[in-house]
Structure 1
Amino acid sequence: MAAIGWYIIAALGEIGGCFAFWAWVRLGRSAWWLIPGMASLAFFAFALTRVEADFAGRAYAAYGGVYITASILWLWVVERQPPDRWDLIGSAVALLGAAIILFGPRAA
């Protein structure tokens, strides 16, 4: 699978896991939400190891742009809060930065 696919899967795992904690602490949901939340966070970490990159730090840095964009999509789809122009501009800038980090030419 291509890097972008693993990044999308990782983002779903991280956001879903973090939202489980948010639901427990901020929304007053049951502590049982933590079980799938922790499993989701573990899967997120596993998914990031599947990205073809020479160095973990570079893979993680590039993931940041995908995470930002996925978080804005979560805001819109799950929380029903439409993103504003600054959310969209920020996401575009973050994705551009991620692409530069991941796909930029490297000296041999």
Structure 2
Amino acid sequence: MNVARSAALFALAALFEIGGAWLVWQGLREHRGLIWVGAGVVALGLYGVVATLQTSGDFGRVLAAYGGVFVAGSLAWAMVADGYRPDRFDIAGALVCLVGMAVIMYAPRGG
């Protein structure tokens, strides 16, 4: 798979999963209502669909690699949506996760 296409799919999956979870949070914890919760459930379902578009047939590998994207994406979402300011350890941790994602997903494999 083209690395750029794969990375774009990971970014889209993060948008749906993190956005969906945020919508559910807003609907329930911030009392914005069931429409927010329903929109979140739809977004979470779309996350599952997008994950299947990766060409790797290894579910565990795709989801493990996506975990790194989720960590970095969650911090980015918090910055944009909630005004969160990550410290240097948040940033370092997210970078470590993204390097791990790249090793898991894109390392050359023999055979």
* Structure-2-length-normalised TM-score: 0.91
For 2:55, which of 38, 52, 56 is the aligned residue? 52
Report % sequence identity: 34
For 1:66, which of 61, 66, 69 is the aligned residue? 69
In 2: Cα distance, 1:82 partner to 1:73 partner:
9
Q: Any conservation in 1 of the 2:19–2:40 contact (CA below 8 Å)?
A: yes
| Map of 2:101 onto structure 1 | 98
Q: Any conservation in 1 of the 2:64–2:101 contact (CA below 8 Å)?
A: yes
In 2: Cα distance, 1:2 partner to 1:52 partner:
10
Instruction: Give the count of matched residue pairs.
Output: 108
Q: Structure 1 residue 52: deviation in Å?
A: 1.7
Is the aligned partner of 1:11 residue 2:11? no
> Aligned ranges for residues 16-27 of structure 1 at < 5 Å?
16-27=19-30
Of the structure 1 ranges 46-55 and 25-34, higher mean CA displacement relative to structure 2 is found in 25-34
In 1: Cα distance, 2:6 partner to 2:55 partner:
6
Gaps of 5+ in 1: none
CA RMSD of aligned residues (A): 1.2
Q: Structure 1 residue 37: deviation in Å?
A: 0.7
Query: Residue 2 of structure 1 aligns to a residue in which SS?
Result: helix
Of the structure 1 ranges 2-11 and 98-107, higher mean CA displacement relative to structure 2 is found in 98-107
Letter matched to residue 47 of structure 2: F
* Structure-1-length-normalised TM-score: 0.94
